[in-house]
Structure 1
């Protein structure tokens, strides 16, 4: 990552446009390779999505996923990391069954120290998005109160300041331990 984070405020329109572009990229990758596509974004509340900290968290996600795929002897035919103003993203094309990848990535989201900040989507070339319930995995939990994450998000149960504080604690603890 040679360029610096933009650290600019982004609008809802930019976020929605970025989601559409990501969905188009995912579909193109599925069509081109006919392999499972893993799409990674961050759970990153607030108006500034492309920050140095967000990029550090995504770098750990990429390192961790790369190691996970190697440990399972799954061939990665393509990997791309992007740094749009709407926050870092990554795409992987992996030669392994989508349901199997979803199992290990859901576990990673639930157990890695930064995993709750990662949104790892797994797309099957034939069936599309593989959801947690399709592999009998529980819904993601809120990283503040442990209630279902989608319910907290929809109800805006936690203030942006509270979310930022918890993310700061989570990341500073993680990176402090890595420096030792």
Structure 2
């Protein structure tokens, strides 16, 4: 395994919780300014205490570049990028239905070499509430685990795989993606 993918500053749980609160604040702010638009909120899905480094950030930015190619400039309303120790974050407000955007992003998650490394959440505002749209709402299957292909959320909740196993799978995914 290429250990450099998981070398870097370790992040404590309190910082992850703070980052989540900050993300929600940013999401609310962006949709508050653009209440009739749709928001993409992109983060990395990296197990273990190291959430970012140059290699992980490069993989993240590769997917963001693909998203930027996917969304025509005339549909983009606002964007924000944060490079923080809890992992890179990207926000894009666009003129598109939540369902239309989610379908495009599901295709990207499933077909881009690094698509499985990111959480690409689609949010919108309805009656002052922040809502998200899921894969299953659109008739798509749930995301699968990196290792066993069972439902990712179940494996995560039950901690079926060690951090080392997941990092090994992610390392292989990144190496494979570099060859494409």
* TM-score of the two chains, using structure 2 as the length reference: 0.89
Q: Identify unmatched segments of 5+ residues in structure 2.
A: 1-6
2:23 corresponds in structure 1 to 22
1:3 corresponds in structure 2 to none
Contact 1:74/1:96 (8 A) holds in 2: no
Rounded Cα–Cα distance in structure 1 between residues aligned with 2:122 and 2:93? 10
Paired residue secondary structure (2:71): helix
Deviation at 1:74, TM superposition (A): 5.9
- Between the two proteins, the alignment pairs up a number of residues equal to 170
Paired residue secondary structure (1:21): helix
Contact 2:60/2:114 (8 A) holds in 1: no
1:12 corresponds in structure 2 to 13
1:158 partnered with 2:161: yes
Which residue among 52, 56, 63 is the counterpart of 2:58?
Answer: 56
* TM-score of the two chains, using structure 1 as the length reference: 0.89
Q: 1:7-36: CA deviations, max 9, x gaps?
A: 211111110110010011001101101210
**Misfit runs of 4+, over 3 Å:** none
CA RMSD of aligned residues (A): 1.5
Q: Identify unmatched segments of 5+ residues in structure 1.
A: 1-5
Rounded Cα–Cα distance in structure 1 between residues aligned with 2:74 and 2:108? 16
1:134 partnered with 2:160: no
